Amino acid sequence: MTRFSGKVALVTGSSNGIGRATAVLLAQEGAKVTITGRNADRLEETRQEILKSGVPEDHVLSIATDLATEKGQDELVNSTIQKFGRLDILVNNAGAAFNDDQGRVGVDQDVSVYDRIMQINMRSVVTLTQKAKEHLVKAKGEVVNVSSIGAGPQAQPTFMYYAMSKAALDQYTRSAAIDLIQYGVRVNSVSPGAVVTGFGEAMGMPADMHEKYGHFMESRKECIPCGKMGQPIDIANIIAFLADRKLSSYIIGQSIVADGGSTLVMGMQAHNFMDLLKQ
């Protein structure tokens, strides 16, 4: 018996990055998983990665669909119930950031960018959770949302709409947690810092630029004090912990920050005070 034996998990955004690592981990630990994303090829890569680790084929349901549509969300919940008969764990992981196509920044970014970001990062979480609720209540299940340290309290003028969507998600996590705990359903979230995934590419960033960004961040203690970018499995392990009632049953409505220390440093603290006095 593994820790998620008999459980069924739906992991959004599992065709890449953090969601893929999470789906693989939950499946390896016994869960039946529904994996999803729009990109059918990448989704198949996730499925193959799961099967490679010895998970039986009938433990994986693969659905290529657009999560930003309610039709796609209905398909996810209905097909999961049809195939597996229950839903214990909902991981609201899918997310994205978009640039203004005319390069506008700060408050001048077009409101269509705001709409697109809120649609996938926040609205889809609200409606998918509504659709999954009756099944999660039946199973006394768990919801784990994937937020971001971008939610604040620091300002994020470059990616302000993305940051706003994650700040909204944090409030949703807290409020939904108190609403749903009356039915025995727990809601928590994880707030990653900089993690090596397809996120940059999805924003249109070429691979070498994304690598350059990673090296810059890793090499500066005021950016990532632990000196390395996060890997998807670092976050997947926390999602599995929050989905594991035996380990985390008393954690309700919280977000666990996993960022290599990034949010603990202020620019002024990054400089050595004693060195400054000697100058």
Q: State the DSSP code for 181.
A: G
Q: How far is the CB of 178 from ligand NDP (least distance, A)?
A: 22
By beta-carbon proximity to ligand NDP, the closer residue of 8 and 35 is: 35
Residue number with CB closer to ligand NDP (114 or 138): 114
Q: Give min distance, CB of 247 to ligand NDP, in A.
A: 22
Cis peptide before 206 (omega within 30 of 0): no
> Other C-beta atoms within 10 Å of 111: how many?
9
Question: Please, which residues bridge with residue 258 across strands?
Answer: 192
Q: Smallest Cα–Cα separation from 38: which of 147, 166, 162, 124?
A: 124
Complex with ligand NDP: residue 66 or 137, whichever CB lies closer: 66
Give the nearest distance from C-beta 274 to ligand NDP in angstroms: 33
Beta carbon of residue 271, minimum distance to ligand NDP (angstroms, whole number): 26
Annotated catalytic residues are 162
Report the side by side order of strands in the sheet with 89-92.
Answer: 60-64, 32-37, 8-11, 89-92, 142-146, 186-192, 255-258
The secondary structure element, H or E, covering residue 193 is none
What string of H, E and C letters represents the secondary structure of 73-126? HHHHHHHHHHHHCCCCEEEECCCCCCCCCCCCCHHHCCHHHHHHHHHHHHHHHH
Interface residues toward ligand NDP, by CB under 6 A: 13-19, 37-39, 42, 66-68, 93-96, 120, 146, 148, 192, 194-195, 197-199, 202
For ligand NDP, the closer of residues 84 and 162 by Cβ is 162
